[in-house]
Amino acid sequence: MLALIQARSNSRRFKNKILCHIFEKSLIEHVIDSVKKSNKIKKIVVATSVNKSDRKLVYFLKKKKINFYKGNLNNVALRLVNAAKKNNAKFFLRVNADSPLIDYTLINKAINIHRKNISSDLITNVFPRTFPSGQSIEIIRTDVLAQNIKFMSKDEKEHVSKYFYKYNTKFFIKNFKCTPNYKYKHLKKMTIDYKSDIKKIKHLINEN
């Protein structure tokens, strides 16, 4: 399975957060290392943009020899489709770059569900959301996303899966829910949205 980590540097709430340091590693490195824990992921690609605001990120990725793809800044759906096609991926795992503690056990669970439902358009755990934000898992069928981009609004192109949830009767969607014994069930948020979130993430890393 191909994992695409969508990443941009021009966050309104926390600029260049993607390269902010949490202990000795950058945020993007934490995300990559978390995804790498899954033995079901064959390749990880950071899907960023051609925009000049992402030049520093691209330079960092090149320096660290991290796979990346550059595409449209605002049309994230098209960026992901093109990144998937470049890697000959019929499906891809979509991960947000603000999620340093993305849980590999959820990635594995989603891939197992996908393998049992190979004709699905979307495997997800956010329809409805029962996991903390920062533990969002989506496996998307590349050709179905590509076929529907022309129908998407500007906002839906940016947030990609919104269109699937809005017009869910058009698609084969499989959702899995949080279990009572899930280790992070008590949390609502595990993302880096503001500089102040770093302290909480550091605490969670130390707990692990």
pLDDT tens-place values along the chain, 208 residues long: 999 999 999 888 898 899 999 999 999 999 999 999 999 999 999 999 999 999 999 999 999 999 999 999 999 999 999 999 999 999 999 999 999 999 999 999 999 999 999 999 999 999 999 999 999 999 999 999 999 999 999 999 999 999 999 999 999 999 999 999 999 999 999 999 999 999 999 999 998 7
100: domain CATH number?
A: 3.90.550.10
Q: Estimate the share of the chain in helix, then strand, then coil, as percent rounded to the nearest 5.
A: 40, 20, 40
Residue 158 in contact with residue 76, Cβ under 8 Å? yes
Say how far apart CA 158 and CA 35 lie, in whole Å. Answer: 22
Domain total for the chain?
Answer: 1
Beta bridge partners of 22: 25
Q: Which domain holds residue 85?
A: 2-207
Burial 34-71 (b: 16+ CB within 10 A, else e): bbeebebbeebbbbbbebeebeebbebbeeeebbbbbb
Query: What's the predicted TM-score (pTM) here?
Result: 0.97
CA-based radius of gyration for the chain: 16
Residue 59 and residue 53 in contact, taking contact as beta carbons nearer than 8 Å: no
